[in-house]
Structures are given as C-alpha cells and as structure tokens.
Amino acid sequence: METCIVETGLLRKKPCGHAAVTKCANCEVALCAQHAVAQLSAAQKKTGAFMCKECDDARRQYEKNQASVAAKQSAASPAPPKPKPAAPAAAPQAKAPAPAAPSEPVPDTIEYRPEPKKK
C-alpha cells in the first residue's frame, strides 16, 4: 500500500505517511484524503478527479492568466462596427431630359473606314 508523500511540518519537512487513497490527476503523486483537492466542473459539481495542492494552484493561476489575456484581447479589438442599414428606396427622379434633336439624320448603317497603314 502506498503512503501520502506530501511534505508536512513547519521546520522539519517530512512525508505525511497516511495511507494514500488516490493519485494526483496531473503529476500522479500518491495522496491521502487530507491532501487530495477535489476538482469541480463548470457547474461546481465534483468530477471525481483529485489533484495535489501544488498542481491545483498552478491550474487556477493558468485559468486566471488566460482570462486576463482574453479580456485584454477583447478590449484591444472592439467589436466590428455594425453595417449601415440599406438606404431607403430613392424617389424616382424626374424624367431624364429628352435628347436634343439631332441636326443630322442618323444613318441606318454604319460605314467602316479602316485607318491607313502606318509606316
């Protein structure tokens, strides 16, 4: 049977020595019931996993740092501006001015005149 190896004592550090009931989910150190920290889900329910105090502190610090980084990124890049709503349908414009009466009659066919060759 394994024993808890978490160091206890103020001046003279020594292993706990109690019977281990679980292992740390991160570093797999044997832990007794007194030193095992239960992990909670997002809904604050116990997940059944345990960590040692050091690993749990590191996990909390990591989550805190990630939250602050996400907050800085969201503050640095504000939400994109909303697109402007489509302009209301414009009122039909007055009739376009009638083309000026042609001074020369328009021929029915177009005559093709090629340019002279350049030398």
pLDDT in tens, 24-70: 999 999 999 999 999 998 898 999 999 999 999 999 999 999 998 88
Which one-letter DSSP state was computed for residue 51?
A: E
Of the candidates 44, 3, 47, which has an alpha carbon nearest to the alpha carbon of residue 25?
47
Per-residue pLDDT, 113: 80
Question: Does 92 fall in a domain?
Answer: no
Question: Does 89 fall in a domain?
Answer: no
Tally of domains in the chain: 1
Give the separation between CA 78 and CA 15, rounded to whole angstroms.
Answer: 52
Of the candidates 53, 56, 54, 48, which has an alpha carbon nearest to the alpha carbon of residue 35?
53
Question: Does 95 fall in a domain?
Answer: no
In this structure, the number of other CB atoms found within 10 A of the CB of residue 26 comes to: 16
**What is the residue range of 47's domain?**
7-75
